[in-house]
Structures are given as C-alpha cells and as structure tokens.
Structure 1
Amino acid sequence: TAAAAACLLGYNPDSLSGFTSVPGRLSLTRENGITVIDNSNSGTNRNTSVIAAEYARRTENAGIILVIGIESETVCEGFSKENVTSAIAEIKPECAVVVGDSLKGIVQEDFDNTSDNTIIYHADNLESGRKRALEIAGVSGNEVKQGDCGGKTVILCVKTWR
C-alpha cells in the first residue's frame, strides 16, 4: 500500500489519511455497516470481478452481494452473458444483481444445478443495481433493516463509463 511504501522510504504517511480512492478502482466505503467495494469501470470484466471478490473476502468476513453486468453496450469490448454467468458461478455470492438489458436472460435456473444457491435479481443500470444491493443487504435510506440474504459486503462490478 501507499502508506507502507511511505514508511519504507522514511516519509510520514499521515498525509495519505485524507486520500480518496478513485471510484471504480476497488475503492472501499462503508454505508450503515455495509462494506461497498466499487470495481465498476470501463475495463470491468470476468477476471476483474473475480479479483474484486477475492479482495472482498480478504477484507471482510461477510457474505457477498454482487452487482455485475454492463450499463452500456458501447463500453469497450462488452461483458458477455457467458462471462457474467461464469463470474457469478466462480464468485458464488449469496445474491447477484445483474445489470443490463442484454443480460436479462440470466436467471435463477442458470445456477440451480450448481453447488451455490445464488439468488438472482435484475437492475437497469449501475445506480439502481447499487441501490437494490443495499436494500438486499438491509439498508433502506439511512435505516438498517433485515435484508433478503446474508450478504453484508456489496461488490460493484458493472462495465460503465466513468
């Protein structure tokens, strides 16, 4: 990390305390007790989604709610249904909110014959997917309620322009 590098070079890392990470580049925030890891950017793909989930599992010992998909079909090389489905199957989140018109065909039955019991939801865009994931986690507005599944870490992996 930057703080460790500063210490090794003999600098005081206190100046890094106010640093805000770039949205969509594995930035980590907390909202009403829910950890949100934002990995949504134009380069999001299957591999970066799996890496974000690995990071989440090392950072938090909580179930995962994954927001995954593509906000616009014109973003770089796309994010195919097969790659999204493969990422969900490998990550094995408690719930997945699938974003994008081209991915509405991803349904619960795609995962019924696997060892995980991922619950599938859909959203039109990153912001509505994020909002839905926080509701599933039990946050509505500024209130914490009982959510639909046990996930308390929300990972945003939507291919989008930022």
Structure 2
Amino acid sequence: MCLLTLDTIHGGGVIASALRERGYSVDSVDVYRGSEGIAPEKAMMNSYSCAIAPVHLDPAYPLLHAGMPVITHHQAAGILMGPDLPHPMIEITGAAGKTTTAYALAHLMRGDGILHTSSGTIRYPAHEMLGRSSITPASLISPAQQAHSLGGWFIGECSLGVSGRGDLGILTSADDYPIAAGKRSALAAKCESLKTCRTVLLPDGIRLDHHPDQHTVGEIVSCDERSISYEYNGINGSFDHPLLSLKGYRIPLMTAAAAACILGIDPSPLSSFKPLPGRMQTAIENGCLIVDTSNSGTTCETTIEAALYARRIQPDSPLHLVIGQDQHAVCENFAESDIKRAIAEIHPDTLTLVTMNPQAEFLSGYPDATLTSSLEEAGDQAPRTPGTILLLAVKTWR
C-alpha cells in the first residue's frame, strides 16, 4: 500500500515516519514550502491508496481531488496510536483555554498518567517533564502510547481538533475563525473531529449532530466570581477560587470541573489549583508589578483582561505593555487587527511590540514603540521601575 502525506511540517513528517515504520510506502509533498518530499506534479502522476492532509489545507489544493480517499492528520494520528489506548483518554481542543483546562483536569486525576500540552509532556504524579513538542495531531501519538505503557490516564491538547479516539473529547471554546485559505471554519473542523469520541463536553450553545452522549458545561456547573457549584450523576458540591474573577481561568476551571464530574471525580480539589506560567502569573521585581499572560493562547481578550487585572491590583500605576507574537510555530496567530484593538483598549503608557516582521505596515501607527523580535528580548529590555506595571502579552509557545 502506497500512501501520500500532504504537509511535511505541522506534524506531517512525524506521521510519514510512523507509517514507514509500520511497513507502508509513503511519499510526502511539502504543500506550504515546497522544500521537502516530492513535487506535487510527480505525486499527481502516481497512484496512492490514500492521502493524509491537514484540516488547514486549502480545499482547492489539486491533490485533494486526484481521485483517492483523503483522511485528516487527526484521523491518521488516531489510527497510529494503535488498538491499545490509555484509559481514560481525554482529548482537548478549542480556540482558547486548552492548556489551562488540561492542567486543571490533570490536577484532579489519580495515579499514573501523562499530560501533553503546549507547555510540554509531563508524567504524573511525579510531575516529571518528559519533553516538549507541538500540539499538532501527530504530537499525540507518542504520549498516548507512553500513557498506555504506564497503565495510566492520558490528557492531550491538540490544535484544530482531536484524533477522535478519546473516552472524552472536550471543546473549550465556541470561538471561530477561518482556516484553509479562509474557506473552512475552525470550529466546524473541531466539532467534526469530536464526533467519534465516546463522550463529548462542549461550551454552552454548541451541539453536535447525532452524537449520543454529549454534554454542555452549563448543564453540569454554574459559577459566580467566587465559587463553582456542580451537580452530575450523584456528584455535587462547590468550591471557591480567587481566579474565578478572571475569564481566562473561570471558563477552564468550569470546563475541568464538568469534565471531572463526567469522569466520576469530585472536582472540589480545584480550590487549590495554582496559576500557570504565562497565564495571569504575577510577580514583583524591584517594586514593579509584572503580570505575565504570554502563552500559545494569548488573544486580544486575554490581554485586555490582564490589563484590567493588573490595574485592579495596582490602580493608577503607569503600564508598560509588551505585545505581539514571536514564533510562526504558534498554530493560531495573534492577528494585527487584534493587537491594535488591545492597544487601543488598554492605552498603555509605554509600548513594546514583538514582531517577526519589522517591516509590517501596521507598525507605522506606533512610532514611539520599542520593537523586538522575541518575548525574551522584550522582557530583558523592559525596565522594572518601582510603582509601575509590566504587562507581558506575547503569543508564544510555553
């Protein structure tokens, strides 16, 4: 059997290698850069049993219409996990809140297990960092196999969907944006991949067609700015948490609590869940309040919320905003329009823009801003003046 993988980055190379290890003949086409694999013209002349394509590929790409079956990278990752899966296996996707939801749920899990997120792959309960990789579909394969070898649970974060093999599939956000050359909905792609999970947990207002076991977060939990209450299948109670005043934590903690109830776990220990690095983490350096919200899920909304949070802690203090994106590897970009909207809403006293393109046209609107190419560079250069606020809001892998 000869297979064709489309896209050698975004985990495509990992999928191709895994297939070759299983004895398949595999050709690859580098659909975005054209620097690896075979030329698309040559692939068009060959005969393949199946093509494996990312969901973000332009649906008009010619090889998708070459008369062969096509499956997604997500589906291929699920197949490559093999017949022996860890249990429970929880897959998490969504435009925002994936990492925090994953960590919060792992906080509740008992015994051995593997947590895989954009922050790294961690073995529990020892909290041993096993390595770091992306959150492409292919990145789920090895951690899931490791979890099975431990006889433990697996929680995996994935971009733009899930493998569909999970006992529980979670969608953390109803937010949508265009993918695949603007021709597909990211939300629709994620929902489609969730349909084959045994049980599905969704944000309020989202339903899947014809799924027999789906729940929304609001059916199980309710929340105010101080506490979460929950009731599901004989599990009921409530817990307080100071981070519930922040949407960036409130929604993930509600989602994790609902997921725990579905898994038969009382979520009350979430009361001791601590902030994650780059997700509203605060510190004081030389009398300067630092609020760090730089992570792979940084958005206009999380940045504005972080500014409000910082100004509640330290009212009337001058605020230095560091904002932008420093890595193309982030799957869902921090759009220039969103960066401009955040700046306009926050009105920082001083501004640092982190950009991979110093010639970008929108930069001309901020002649007094400092330009840097990375969060690390910006953080090193930013002054820590007593009585001021330093807000770090850079979309980056962490």
Is the pair's TM-score, using the shorter chain for normalization, greater than 0.5? yes
Match in the other structure for 2:352: 97
Under a length normalisation based on structure 1, what TM-score does the superposition of the two structures give?
0.70
Q: What are the superposed Cα offsets for residues 29-61 of structure 1, whole Å, 9 maximum, x if unpaired?
A: 000100000000100011111111111111112
- SS of the aligned residue for 1:72 comes to coil
Q: Which amino acid aligns with 1:35?
A: L
Q: Which amino acid aligns with 2:240?
A: A
Match in the other structure for 1:44: 298
- Counterpart of 2:377 (choices 128, 136, 147) is 128
Distance in structure 2 (CA, Å) of the matches to 1:48 and 1:161: 16
1:69·1:103 contact (CA, 8 Å) conserved in 2?
A: no
Question: Kindly tell me: are residues 104 and 127 of structure 1, through their superposed partners in 2, closer, same or farther at Cα, counting changes over 3 Å?
Answer: farther
Distance in structure 2 (CA, Å) of the matches to 1:104 and 1:53: 27
Distance in structure 2 (CA, Å) of the matches to 1:49 and 1:104: 24
What is the CA-CA distance between 1:130 and the residue it aligns to?
Answer: 1.1
Distance in structure 2 (CA, Å) of the matches to 1:129 and 1:50: 19
Distance in structure 1 (CA, Å) of the matches to 2:332 and 2:359: 19
- SS of the aligned residue for 1:102 comes to coil
Calculate percent identity across the aligned residue pairs. 35
Question: Kindly tell me: are residues 80 and 103 of structure 1, through their superposed partners in 2, closer, same or farther at Cα, counting changes over 3 Å?
Answer: farther
Match in the other structure for 1:141: none
Q: What are the superposed Cα offsets for residues 137-160 of structure 1, whole Å, 9 maximum, x if unpaired?
A: 44xxxxx7xxxxxx7100110001
What is the CA-CA distance between 1:83 and the residue it aligns to?
Answer: 1.3
Q: What are the superposed Cα offsets for residues 2-35 of structure 1, whole Å, 9 maximum, x if unpaired?
A: 9x938xxxxxxxxx6xx86321110000001000
Q: What are the superposed Cα offsets for residues 56-83 of structure 1, whole Å, 9 maximum, x if unpaired?
A: 1111121110110001122021012221
Q: Which amino acid aligns with 1:53?
A: A
- SS of the aligned residue for 1:101 comes to coil
Question: Kindly tell me: are residues 41 and 103 of structure 1, through their superposed partners in 2, closer, same or farther at Cα, counting changes over 3 Å?
Answer: farther
Q: Which amino acid aligns with 1:37?
A: V
1:81·1:103 contact (CA, 8 Å) conserved in 2?
A: no
Match in the other structure for 1:82: 337
Question: Kindly tell me: are residues 104 and 155 of structure 1, through their superposed partners in 2, closer, same or farther at Cα, counting changes over 3 Å?
Answer: farther
Match in the other structure for 1:5: 240
Match in the other structure for 1:10: none
Distance in structure 2 (CA, Å) of the matches to 1:103 and 1:40: 20
- SS of the aligned residue for 2:283 comes to strand
CA RMSD of aligned residues (A): 2.6
Higher mean C-alpha deviation, range 98-107 or range 124-133: 98-107
Higher mean C-alpha deviation, range 71-80 or range 51-60: 71-80
Match in the other structure for 1:65: 320
Q: What are the superposed Cα offsets for residues 68-126 of structure 1, whole Å, 9 maximum, x if unpaired?
A: 0001122021012221112111110001111121365344x5258xxxxxx41111111
Distance in structure 1 (CA, Å) of the matches to 2:343 and 2:358: 13
Match in the other structure for 1:115: none
- SS of the aligned residue for 1:57 comes to helix
Higher mean C-alpha deviation, range 124-133 or range 24-33: 124-133
Distance in structure 2 (CA, Å) of the matches to 1:40 and 1:28: 12
Long gaps (5+) in structure 1: 7-15, 113-118, 139-143, 145-150
Higher mean C-alpha deviation, range 98-107 or range 38-47: 98-107
- SS of the aligned residue for 2:240 comes to helix
Distance in structure 2 (CA, Å) of the matches to 1:103 and 1:5: 45
When the two structures are aligned, how many residues end up with a matched partner?
A: 131
Distance in structure 2 (CA, Å) of the matches to 1:71 and 1:154: 18
Q: Which amino acid aligns with 1:77?
A: E
Q: Greater relative contact order (Cα 8 A, min sep 6): structure 1 or 2?
A: 1
Match in the other structure for 1:9: none
